Amino acid sequence: MKVEASDWFLIGPEVFLTGAGLLLLALATFFQKAKEEFLGYLAVLSVVITAVILSVVAAAGPRERGPILAGMFILDNFALFFKFLILIAIGLTVLASIKYVGTAPYPGGEYYALLLFTGVGMLFMVSGNNLISIYVALELMALASYILAGYFKGETRSTEAALKYFVLGAFSSGILLYGLSLVYGISGRMGLTDLAQMATSGDGRNLAVLGILMVLVGLLFKIAAVPFHVWTPDVYEGSPTPITAFFSVGPKVAAYAILARIFYVGFPKFHADWGLVVAIVAAATLVWGNLAALLQTNVKRMLAYSSIAHAGYALLGVLGFQTPYGLWGVLVYLLAYTFMNFGAFALVIFLETKGYAAESVSDFNGLARRNMPAAVTMLLFLLSLAGIPPTAGFIGKYYLFTAAMKAGYAWLAVLAVLASAVSLFYYFRIAAAMFFSEAAGARLQSSYALTAAVVLCAAGTLLVGIAPEGVLAVLKTCIPGGY
């Protein structure tokens, strides 16, 4: 395969981010623990520069942004949207980590470097236009994530989280890979656009469907849909909180991107075969995610189940992919979800006074008296997560419900709205703790970096909620194929 000069331009962001990661790794050896904050800011800077390079690439016309590396990758608006979203997620994670990592007794340089490497994996992943390139990028992201989950290597639960994540991640990757091999075996194709031409009938049909369903299962593992979610609460609970926040948005968003792309571009003709499975999984995810969250007293576990439930909502959009609202809804929702979910986790990080300890809901007691702006911002994220207007979460959910109705899954829409009403109960346990209980400690002060992350999330949540038109119009152009 010949690498064109234009290819280097188009993968510029990824190349730069890789370089930045390596540089951080090398620099880390020269920094003492106390000075590592600088590395964090350097990581933020590299993410910003990557975003700038990406903007330059994006500014090139759609024609210049043709297939990369002989069609292994493409850079359509869909990919660009996800790349920006992933950079936002990584940037927020680094900001939220700086103080946290600074106080942890483990070296921070590799932490930031690994974070950037997961970013590289995700950036490639969402561009993937070929089953092999998607898989390789996915594994790059996953391997770096496993290590990040176990970053607190002295803590049993962090190690446990990493191991669970690794074993189940590898297992799901295996299923995914096996599915890919079946699809390839039947069709002899790997490119997504070629796969779309795959015959839907004939000898290999059953095997092809089996392969597609295995691909689906592999990806459902990655987005933590029921019944493939069991790893999530443990991993989310055990990982360092900024990493949990990152897992809940970054890899999930990227997995959604490839789920949508593979099934929308590659297997639309097999909709009849995977549609019902996705519908049932979505229903189970919505119901179980929300019900299980009701029972949690640990905030990280509660938010883990909540993020499972949110994966279920987004599946409604995947189901409605044939309607104008389907993928549009997924994009709007993932954008909203990134801001609100990360914001909620960022407030958990803010409260983490006991270092790496389980966060109980009662830790939020009296936050309104300890730091009113923090409490109000948390309330905003909770309202958004529960889908109360006028927040980003409502706009996102609105699209997904619309997509489900339009696609003929009215029963699923009814289930989804009721599940959404139920979710308010556990979200507002935190609100009740913040506003109704007596303060459990002194006034709290936030670090600048974390404040920046929270303010960004709050601004995003409000902007998409109150003045969504600009965002909606841009996102409409990001649907592959377009409407």
Chain residues in the site for other proteins (CB under 8 A):
322-324, 368, 383, 388-390, 394, 398, 401-402, 405-406, 408, 410, 413-414, 417-418, 420-422, 424-425, 428, 432, 435-436, 468-469, 472-473, 476, 483
Q: What share of the chain is helix, strand, coil (3-state, %, to 5)?
A: 75, 0, 20
Number of H helices and E strands in the chain, helices first, is 20, 0
Q: At 456, list the tokens.
A: 């960004």
Kindly tell me which of 348 and 379 has the beta carbon lying closer to other proteins. 379
Kindly tell me which of 1 and 473 has the beta carbon lying closer to other proteins. 473
In angstroms, give the least distance from the CB of 397 to other proteins: 9
Count Cα neighbours of 180 within 13 Å in the Cβ-side half-sphere.
19
Kindly tell me which of 180 and 404 has the beta carbon lying closer to other proteins. 404
Q: For residue 246, give the nearest of 24, 23, 88 by alpha carbon.
A: 88
Kindly tell me which of 75 and 431 has the beta carbon lying closer to other proteins. 431
In angstroms, give the least distance from the CB of 246 to other proteins: 29
The answer to whether the CB of 196 falls within 8 A of the CB of 261 is no
Kindly tell me which of 69 and 309 has the beta carbon lying closer to other proteins. 309
Kindly tell me which of 385 and 413 has the beta carbon lying closer to other proteins. 413
In angstroms, give the least distance from the CB of 273 to other proteins: 19
Kindly tell me which of 117 and 321 has the beta carbon lying closer to other proteins. 321
Query: What are residue 152's phi and psi, to 5 degrees?
Result: -80, 75
CA distance 147 to 309: 26
In angstroms, give the least distance from the CB of 388 to other proteins: 5
Q: For residue 187, give the nearest of 269, 260, 250 by alpha carbon.
A: 269
Whether the upstream peptide bond of residue 390 has omega within 30° of 0, thus cis, is: yes
Count Cα neighbours of 332 within 13 Å in the Cβ-side half-sphere.
35
Kindly tell me which of 173 and 323 has the beta carbon lying closer to other proteins. 323
In angstroms, give the least distance from the CB of 419 to other proteins: 9
Torsion, CA 254, CA 257, CA 258, CA 262, rounded to 10: 170
In angstroms, give the least distance from the CB of 450 to other proteins: 23
Q: At 129, list the tokens.
A: 């236009």
Residue 69 to residues 59, 130, 187, Cα–Cα distance (Å): 20, 11, 22
Tell me how crowded residue 218 is: count the other CB atoms within 10 A of its CB.
24
CA distance 299 to 279: 29
The answer to whether the CB of 219 falls within 8 A of the CB of 258 is yes
Phi/psi region, residue 107 (left: phi>0; alpha: psi -120 to 50; beta: rest), is beta
In angstroms, give the least distance from the CB of 108 to other proteins: 38
H-only helix segments in 60-130: 77-103, 109-127
CA distance 241 to 348: 8
Residue with tokens 């590289």: 120
Kindly tell me which of 212 and 344 has the beta carbon lying closer to other proteins. 344
Kindly tell me which of 346 and 413 has the beta carbon lying closer to other proteins. 413
The three-class DSSP label of residue 467 is coil
In angstroms, give the least distance from the CB of 319 to other proteins: 14
- Give me the sign of the Cα torsion angle 296, 302, 305, 309: positive
In angstroms, give the least distance from the CB of 313 to other proteins: 13
CA distance 431 to 117: 36
In angstroms, give the least distance from the CB of 338 to other proteins: 20
Kindly tell me which of 314 and 403 has the beta carbon lying closer to other proteins. 403
In angstroms, give the least distance from the CB of 476 to other proteins: 7
